[in-house]
Structure 1
Amino acid sequence: MTQPLLSVENISKSFPGVKALDDVTFDVFPGEVHALVGENGAGKSTLMKVLAGLHRADAGQIVYQGAPVRITSPLDARQMGILLIHQELSLSPELSVAENIYLGAWPTNAFGVLKKRKLRRDAQAALDALGLDIRPDIRVGDLSIARQQMVEIARALAFNANVVIFDEPTASLTDAEKDQLFTTIRSLKAKGVGIVYISHKMDEIFEITDRITILRDGTLQGTVWTRETDVNHITRMMIGRTLDSYFVRAKENFGDEMLRVEGLSKAGLFEDVNFAVRGGEVLGLYGLVGAGRSEVVETIFGVRDATAGTLYWQGQPAVFPTPRQAISMGLALVPESRKEQGLVLGMGGRENTSLPHLRMFSDATLMNRSRELATYEEYRSLLDIRTTGPEQPVATLSGGNQQKFVLAKWLCSGPKLIILDEPTRGIDVGSKSAIHELIAGLAEKGLAVIVISSEMPEVLGVSHRVLAMSEGHIVAEFTGDMMTEENLIDAVSHQSGPPQAGASVKTQSIGEMA
């Protein structure tokens, strides 16, 4: 590796009220996987958007294949062979998989007519390269989020890039899909492609990368060889301290039963789900993509209609609520996708915090702005949200700060039960630790908490009990010493359909749980 394939030299970039990058230098060599890590807001995505032509640097230069270049647009970057696979999906849901893969470069004849057979054939080749069993002619909007993510990756790889930038590529992938992605990355590496890999998942960083560059608050902290460092060292460089206790579990001081469901079913999604959760308890829900975890809690919250089952709220039978009724009862749901389901991206933090609770902030027909601002400031301070002010659009914030605003808007209503669906997806290690502490703090204040997470160490680390789901059924329940990764993997991997004999999945009464 004598000469970098791509490098940025002394790059700086500012936005109103914040300096996103300050004199940063970074490079990637042919056949190298180079990780870029840092907390949310450290400048990782901004740096990559400069490389991809989405932002123009205020100072510094980009050198590509040994010569200085100006990248003024994503088209410039793609024509040079620099491709960015975004953390957030950028597909057109109404178009087919093939049309999305080659969007902006559809093959046409001399008269501008689309060559449909060639488009389908080329798209099929890109899908085959990733080992995907997705038809090129299927509508993208009909695919799961995980499979849409794989289409996004296929779209980037179809252009035979020299440099591929992966921004949190496994956030929505199953373990099998992640393994296939890593096989693809290693194949690209063997062909001399330079790979930039951005991820908050340290196990992935240490599995797939050659070097690691660390950013903090827009400044370069250093670059190290992956084989010569460890997680503690990287964490200390990222956040300026070590994490004494990464996972925090609330003390066991359970109160009365808050929620119980019996025989909860939604045709085609899940069947005969039974569980209960008490005040002060953190109940974990784990399963592979498609197991039905999110659909269960969405049905409890009223987003979906149940086809069967009984709901008990605070020990009393209750009808399944609408979302508005669920909020009034004291339920809160932090959804899986903060950008699609949790926030209005064009609004500021103030408006996003108050939006579900307008009656709390209004006097007759007028909004009480002082009360609204006071609540915004209370939770901005409590959750350490980094923003330039209450009107800054949340679309311009880092993923971690966006997630904190989703939490803020539900916490301000004083819920009795809060459901957290993938609460730390796509956020940095420091913010994850803060959210784990928040979960424990909520439980110790008497709230019932349900946590859905695709990260086994997380769901095991913060929960008092864990339910394992597979193919729409709860197949096992684990407590105490039985809460291990081995048991959880075995439960979700080898059981399908209703629970097998001996699995502990019955709905527990208060007396049984005491």
Structure 2
Amino acid sequence: MRDIILEMRGITKTFPGVKALSNVNLKVAEGEIHALCGENGAGKSTLMKVLSGVYPHGSYEGDILFKGNVCEFKDIKQSEDLGIVIIHQELALIPYLSIAENIFLGNEQNNRGIINWNETTIKTKELLKTVGLDESPATKVIELGVGKQQLVEIAKALSKQVKLLILDEPTAALNEDDSENLLDLILELKNQGITSIIISHKLNEIKKVADSVTILRDGRTIQTMDMVKDEVTEDVIIKGMVGRDLTNRYPERVPKIGDKIFEVKNWEASHPQQEDRKVLEQINMHIRKGEIVGIAGLMGAGRTELAMSIFGRSYGKHIKGQLFLHGKEVHLNSISDAIEHGVAYVTEDRKHYGLILMDDIKRNISLTSLKKLSRRGVINEQEEVLVAEEYRKKLNIKTPGILQKTMNLSGGNQQKVVLSKWIYAQPEVLILDEPTRGIDVGAKYEIYSIVNQLADEGKGILFISSELPEILGMCDRIYVMSEGRITGEVNREDATQEVLMKSMTRGRG
């Protein structure tokens, strides 16, 4: 039996009005990959922030034992000095510094206070080789894709002589290839004796790499299982996470599809910086009333670019083509134009573009529809409160109250606030770009139900997703994109992953 490297006993953490963790216990064996599962808001990230010193000793109850010794971390540096390193979901790299500068930031290789750049470069090359990243140490981080940035974060952790590596949703923003490479690297680090804790909503990834899994629900430990001895399945994990069986991942729906509501004809757009490079060419598509239309495609296919260029020309240069609403041509030259014509866009990046994180739920919900709540430029705050309360209940937003800052909500509940904002705007066409990214299975089901309800009300839904099972499970008709073009159109009954993938990999030639 392997030695226990980490034990957390009776961890309780309270925020104003919310008990985030209640008597949580966790044991991690040395040299294993231990998965931490739970719905959004279950307390996974909070527990890891307690462990790493983000929440210092004294701000929580309970004990942390690392290699048998009681630890009382006052900050992150103290935990890192012992070899406990956390990589957060939002990467903490400085974009305009080089890879080498980022890796050794705060841990500079120096002689008497003067940085030894030669030693820094040599060590950086060694670390990059370890994580399989073929880049110059002088490359600025801003020039790297998200997958490579994630590898830089791991190299940075290795530079701190990591013994316990904590990865919070490491593949949430990665495509399939980058995700596979990262998981292979985590397995390789295990072979080198590094213990890992991985937080993930992607159950197939947990099955691939984890030796053990601990499930949290509502801030409590539900169970810990050995992935081999206990014959753990995805259904077992889901039941532990949500407290019930999810026999069907996608809610049933009988489509009530009506007349054509929105149409895009001969749509083209160029890259905003490289104006001679076309990112969208000859896009022709339509959505009917009550129809959920999917857009599938690999990373870089142009799905988000298409959505944003339609939504008030918020992406691209030299945009050409026509948009029709109920058969009449419309000109959506700004986001305000799009909203006024009943076109809404739920962005894939809710934290940066979908919400004002420092503001409360109430203000975020009312933000796109202040005209409806104001008279002569003065907002009716009482009505604003009533609207926010209505949507809090309707979309089951888990929060102590509508004055809670959105930054304190879980990912699933943040997404419900974004949806509330746009539903209250009463759009006729709703574009959903990766609406369930980084969200657990229970919250996904709730969002799917909301989307189905909007379609039943006669809205036209454009549903963009990187997850093919989600596209197949939710959409009535599917467009496939590759290299800025539509390369296929498939009805639900004819759609399979193989059919979609064939069109997704079809180039311009």
Q: Output the TM-score relative to the length of structure 1.
A: 0.92
Name the counterpart of 1:49.
49
Question: 1:331 & 1:146 partners in 2: Cα distance?
Answer: 32
- The aligned counterpart of 1:166 is 167
Cα deviation digits, residues 470-498 of structure 1 (max 9, x gap) = 222222222233311122223223x2126
| Whole-angstrom distance in 2 between the partners of 1:133 and 1:466 | 37
Report the secondary structure of 1:5's partner residue. Answer: strand
**Aligned-partner residue type, residue 365 of structure 1:** G
Q: Distance in 2 between the 1:484 and 1:79 partners?
A: 50
Relative to structure 1, the CA distance from residue 58 to residue 480 in structure 2 (aligned partners, 3 Å threshold; closer, same or farther) is closer
Partner of 1:315: 327
Of the candidates 389, 394, 403, which is equivalent to residue 415 of structure 2? 403
- Match status 1:209 vs 2:210: yes
User: Is the 1:265–1:273 Cα contact (8 Å) retained in structure 2?
Assistant: yes
SS in 1 for 2:221: strand
1:469-480 matches, cutoff 5 A: 469-480=481-492
Alignment match, 1:297: 307
Does residue 18 (structure 1) correspond to residue 5 (structure 2)? The answer is no
| Structure 1 residue 118: Cα displacement | 3.4
Q: Does 1:283 align with 2:293?
A: yes
Name the counterpart of 2:236.
Answer: 233
Paired positions, count:
496
How much is the aligned-residue C-alpha RMSD, in angstroms?
Answer: 1.8
Q: Tell me what 1:255 maps to.
A: 258
**2:170 match: secondary structure:** coil
Matched, 1:497 2:499: no
Whole-angstrom distance in 2 between the partners of 1:157 and 1:452? 36
Task: For 1:366 and 1:377, locate their aligned partners in 2 and report how far apart those are by CA, in whole Å.
Answer: 20
8 Å Cα contact 1:3-1:66 kept in structure 2: no
Deviation of the 1:252 alpha carbon: 2.4
- Residue 60 of structure 2 aligns with which residue? 58
Distance in 2 (alpha carbons) for counterparts of 1:87 and 1:298:
24
Residue deviations 1:147-196 (CA, integer Å, cap 9, x gap): 43343333334433111111111111121111111111111111221111
Give, in whole Å, the separation in 1 of the partners of 2:438 and 2:191. Answer: 28
State the 1:16 CA deviation.
Answer: 0.7
Match of 2:100 in 1: 98
| Counterpart Cα distance in 1 of 2:303 and 2:420 | 23
Once residues 53 and 222 of structure 1 are traced to their aligned partners in structure 2, the CA distance between those partners, rounded to angstroms, is 25
Q: Say which SS state the counterpart of residue 476 (structure 1) adopts.
A: strand
Q: From the superposition, tell whether residues 121 and 467 of structure 1 become closer, same or farther in structure 2 (CA, over 3 Å).
A: farther
Q: What's the CA shift for 1:429?
A: 1.1
Q: Which residue of 2 aligns with 1:39?
A: 39
1:93-129 alpha-carbon deviations (Å, 9 max, x no partner): 232233222222232332x333334334433333333
Instruction: State the AA in 2 paired with 1:118.
Output: E
* Displacement after TM superposition at 1:47 (Å): 0.3
Report the CA distance shift for 1:149/1:336 in structure 2 as closer, same or farther (over 3 A): farther
Q: Is the Cα–Cα contact under 8 Å of residues 250 and 443 in structure 1 kept in the other structure? A: no
TM, length-normalised to structure 2:
0.93
Identity %: 40
Distance in 1 between the 2:78 and 2:445 partners? Answer: 39
Find the aligned partners of 1:151 and 1:195 in 2 and give their Cα distance.
Answer: 17
Look up the equivalent residue of 1:468 and give its one-letter code: V
Distance between the aligned counterparts of 1:146 and 1:279, measured in 2?
38
Report the CA distance between 1:420 and its aligned residue. Answer: 0.9
Q: What 5-or-longer segments of structure 1 have no aligned partner?
A: 499-514
Distance in 2, Cα, partners of 1:63 & 1:418: 50
* 2:437 corresponds to: 425
Kept in 1, the 8 Å contact 2:472–2:492? The answer is no
Q: CA deviation at 1:249?
A: 5.4
**Alpha-carbon distance change, 98 to 273 in structure 1, aligned in 2, over 3 angstroms:** farther
Does the 8 A contact of 2:305 with 2:316 survive in 1?
Answer: no
Alpha-carbon distance in structure 2 between the residues aligned to 1:306 and 1:463: 30
Distance, in Å, in 1 between the alignment partners of 2:28 and 2:443 is 28
Matched, 1:371 2:383: yes
1:69-468 pair list within 5 angstroms: 69-110=71-112, 112-227=113-228, 228-248=231-251, 250-267=253-270, 268=277, 269-302=279-312, 303-307=314-318, 308-468=320-480
Structure 2 unmatched ranges of 5 or more: 271-276
Letter in 2 for 1:301: F
Equivalent residues of 2:392, 2:402 under 8 A apart: no
Offset at 1:306? 4.9
